[in-house]
Amino acid sequence: MYTALAFDGYHIDQLGARPTPDYTYPGTLVDLAATFEPFIAAVKADRLDKSVVMNAVNQYGQDGIARAPTSFLYTEVWGPNDTFASLADIIVTNNTLGDGTKPTVLAAYMNYDLAQGPGFFNTPAVLLTDAVIFAFGGDHIELGEHMLGREYFPNENLAIRADLKDALVHYYDFLVAYQNVLRDGGTFNSPGVSSTNGIAMSAWPSQRGQVAVVGKEVGNRQVIHLLNFLSANSLNWRDNAGTQPVPQRVGELTLSYATTRQVKRVWFASPDVDAGASKDIAFTQTASEVTFTVPSLAYWDMVVVEYQ
C-alpha cells in the first residue's frame, strides 16, 4: 500500500462491542478487544515511519488502543453516548488512558435523521457540539468534500448554509490559535463563577436554560469556558431532527470568579467575536474574588485568568 500511495499512516476500523454468540461447536471465545493492542503494535513495527490510529467505536477496547503505539485516540460516538456530557466524558477518559499525551478525535455525526434526505445542517447544533468538543480539548472529524451527517461518508444529503460555513472557519482557526490553552495539558476543575446580572449559570455538565462553566488550570492560568445552553431545547448533541435553536445572545456579561490568588491579567477570546482575536478585559479584585465583564456571549466564550 505504501509503495503505491504516499499515505501518512494506517486507520484501523472495527464494529464495536458485539453480542456474545450462541454456539454449540467446540472452541474458545476470543476476547476481541484484547487483540487490538498487539495487532496495532505489529502494524507499527512493520513501518516505524508511519502513523497508526484505530477507531474505538463507542470506546470499545480503548484502554488497549491507548497503550498501543497509536498517534492519537479516535472514537466514533453512538448511543447511549447521546448527550453533550457524554462527549466531554469520552475526551476526559481518553486523556487519562493516554496519560495526557494522545489527543482525541471524535467521529460524531450531526443531524443524523435529517441526513436521510436533502436539506441543511442545523447551525446551532453543529456549533454547540464543536464548542463542547473543542473546549474539552478534543477535535471533530466532520469536514471533507462535505460535512458528515452519517457514517456512510459519501452521503452528502445535507448542505452547509453560509452562516455555518463562515462560523466553522472561525471555530477551527480558534482551535489552532489557542491550542496551548485548549489542548496542551492542564487539569479540569470547577471554578466558582457566577453572574452578577441575572444570567443562570452552573458548573458542567450542561443544563437547559443555563450557561455551563467548564474550568481548567493550565500552568499559572485558570481557563474558564462559557457554553451557552440558555435556549437549548435538548442536551442531545446529535440533534437528529435539526431543531436546536440559536442560543439567546447575552450582551455584556459581568462575572464574579472566586479566588484568593493574586491576578495580573484577564483576557477574553471567542470564535463568535472578532474572528477569535483575544483582548484584555478590565478586572477588579478583592481578597476573595475577581470581577470582570465579557463583551458578549453567543455560543462559546473563553476567559483566561493569569496569576502573578
pLDDT at 260: 96
Each domain of the chain, given as residue ranges in start order, spans 9-182, 187-307
| Residue 196 in grid coordinates | 452578577
Over the chain (308 residues), the average pLDDT of each successive run of 10 is 92 92 77 96 96 98 98 97 98 96 97 98 98 98 96 97 98 97 94 94 96 97 98 98 97 96 98 97 97 97 97
Which of 114, 139, 136 shows the shortest CA–CA distance to 125? 114
Architecture of domain 9-182: Alpha-Beta Barrel (3.20)
Cβ atoms of residues 113 and 243 within 8 Å: no
| Residue 165 in grid coordinates | 460555513
* Long-range contacts of 196-201, Cβ-Cβ distance < 8 Å, separation of 24 or more: 196/254, 196/255, 196/256, 196/291, 197/252, 197/253, 197/254, 199/230, 199/250, 199/253, 200/230, 201/226
pLDDT at 29: 82
C-alpha span between 269 and 307 (Å, rounded): 18
pLDDT at 12: 97
pLDDT at 8: 95
pLDDT at 21: 76
| Residue 47 in grid coordinates | 513501518
Interior angle at CA 172, CA 193 and CA 49, nearest 5: 115
CATH pick for 187-307 out of 2.60.40.1180, 3.40.50.300, 1.10.10.10, 3.10.580.10: 2.60.40.1180
Sign of the C-alpha dihedral computed for residues 210, 204, 218 and 274 taken in this order: negative
Which of 107, 87, 102 shows the shortest CA–CA distance to 183? 102
Cβ atoms of residues 57 and 16 within 8 Å: yes
pLDDT at 24: 72
Are the folds of 9-182 and 187-307 the same? no
